Amino acid sequence: MVNDTLDETGDGARRAATPMAKALAVAWCVDASRVGEVLFVDETPHVFGRGDAEDGDGRPRARLVRQRPHETTAAAPLELPALSRAQLELRLQDGRVHVQNLGKRPLLDGAGETAPALVVSPGDAFEIKGQVVFVCVSRERRMAPLRSLASPAFPFGGSDVHGLVGESAAAWELREQAAFVAARAAHVLVLGDSGSGKELVAQAIHAASKRGRRPMVARNAATIPSGLADAELFGNLANYPNPGMPERKGLVGEADGSTLFLDEIGELPEELQARLLRVLDERGEYQRLGDAKPRRADIRLLGATNRPVAALKHDVAARFRLRLRVPGFQERREDILLIARHLLARVAATDAEIGERFFDGKGEPRIAAALARRLVRHDFRTHGRELDALLWRAIATSPEDVLELTPDVEAELTQDTPAPVTSRRLPVELSAEEIRAALARANGVQERAWRELGLANRYVLKRLIAKMGIASGGDGGP
């Protein structure tokens, strides 16, 4: 996720170095405290169900664990009265998880259809009806230890001190890399899709840095008018360029001794990017309009963009010695309901009526299993922003005190909103060699590979893999 060179790579060597195992993550549960726990699956069949095995049942049990970088701890057996003690049989075969229903509670596939058995790959979700929603993921059996971040001091499934939420491997790697970046002095480019949380990550980097004692100065670069760019960025002396004009420090002057965050920096025209070059050098020189004397500012620039690095002027891109990529929801599906819980809690904190209606006595939002399963399966385009809008739609249209998968929410989820044609590739343009190379770079995670290849969605990639007979390990990616 982070680079200290000009090379824009993927997730770095830490993730690539360790073989990935298949696991089922609890994406939703009637016992909300269990969301984020995982159980690993191997070739030996294991039984999963309520509590411990019945007397005389010697079959090995699948156990939930709470996994964090500093430790993996066994979780208590899931005590849900509606589950059978032997509810599911789980085994790994040919890189995919085979799920056999043994119990009284129906097993539902990702579309909500009853099935006696399922075969799932990473990215697929299924439900033990009304009790648990699982999402299949690829994950290390033990997370890599933290090197730059102190051991976590916040509750499992909760928000950390910077407001980052998630227990997935991707969420923990993001925290680790943000901590690494925060301790450095170099300028940082934060990459990621729209709505993935780039500004929140920038705030976390600033707060954890030596500059965090002073407020971060933030501005959306796309809103800076071209004709006023110099004044906005560097300020002006009093009465310049027009009599009566007040003196302004400009964004650079305001951020002296602190951090300047320019969101959507890729939207700045090249001539405006060029004006940043001198201040981004070690001397930090700039001039206010109307001032013949150069000034110096000690600033650290955090830039954020959802565009490729190549969209930046080369000289500006070169100033960003560190780059950090914020993962999208498709890489951390097991976190989606944790994030939803966090978003809903923020709403309830400011709207007592919503809190009283949709939250239980333990302070947990009541979310229907069907809505949870649908959210986990959804291919988000604007991630947190889109999730927030969907939750508000559910709040507005749910008839009772549970957030439901209402027809309005379903319509929003199924609405076809394709990306611009220029960003897509046709399957006929791809060779088997290109697909194999993309899968190798993505550690076999199809969720990342289809995006790198510019395909419409992961299902197009699945069809190409099957058609070309490419060995993929069955990894659809979390």
Alpha carbon distance 69, 189 (integer Å): 25
Query: Residues 156-177, buried b or exposed e (16+ Cβ, 10 A)?
Result: bbebbebebbbbbbbbbbbbbb
Given its phi and psi angles, is residue 319 left (phi above 0), alpha (psi -120 to 50 degrees) or beta? alpha
pLDDT of residue 473: 52
User: For residues 295 and 303, what is the distance between their CA atoms, to the nearest angstrom?
Assistant: 22
Angle between helices 369-377 and 407-414 (to 10 degrees): 10
pLDDT digits (tens, 9 = 90+) for 414-464: 874 444 333 344 555 677 877 887 887 777 778 778 777 777 667 678 878
Sequence letter at residue 385 = R
Query: Would you state the pLDDT for residue 10?
Result: 37
Q: Quick one: fold of 332-414?
A: Helicase, Ruva Protein; domain 3 (1.10.8)
Both tokens assigned to 425: 């590739």
DSSP state of 10: S
- What local confidence, expressed as pLDDT, does residue 293 receive? 85
332-414 matches 169-325 in CATH topology: no
CATH of region 169-325, choose from 3.40.50.300, 3.90.1170.40, 3.30.43.10, 2.40.50.90: 3.40.50.300
Residue 345: per-residue pLDDT = 96
pLDDT computed for residue 18 by the predictor: 58
Ordered per-residue pLDDT tens for the chain, 478 residues:
444 433 333 334 344 445 789 999 999 999 999 999 999 999 999 999 999 988 889 999 999 999 999 889 999 999 999 999 999 999 999 999 999 999 999 999 999 999 999 999 999 999 999 999 999 999 999 988 888 887 778 999 999 999 999 999 999 999 999 999 999 999 999 999 999 999 999 999 999 999 999 999 999 998 888 778 888 888 888 878 778 778 888 899 999 999 999 999 988 888 888 888 888 887 888 878 878 788 889 999 999 999 888 889 999 999 999 999 999 999 999 999 999 999 999 999 999 999 999 999 999 999 999 999 999 999 999 999 999 999 999 999 999 999 999 999 999 998 744 443 333 445 556 778 778 878 877 777 787 787 777 776 676 788 788 878 887 654 444 3
The ranges assigned to domains in the chain are 19-139, 169-325, 332-414, 421-468
- Considering the four listed CATH numbers 1.10.10.10, 3.30.365.10, 2.60.200.20, 3.40.50.300, the one that applies to the domain covering 19-139 is 2.60.200.20
Q: Which residues of 444-453 are buried (b: 16+ CB within 10 A; e: fewer)?
A: bbbbbbbbeb
Q: Residue 94: which of 121, 75, 70, 60 has the closest Cα? A: 121
**Cβ(83)–Cβ(48) under 8 Å?**
no
Please report the pLDDT score of residue 391 as a whole number: 98
What pLDDT was estimated at residue 236? 83
Q: Which amino acid is at 286?
A: Y
The pLDDT of residue 247: 81
The distance of Cα 308 from the centroid of its chain, to the nearest Å, equals 18
Tell if the pTM clears 0.85, that is, is over it: no
CA distance 279 to 287: 9
pLDDT in tens, 301-326: 999 999 888 889 999 999 999 999 99
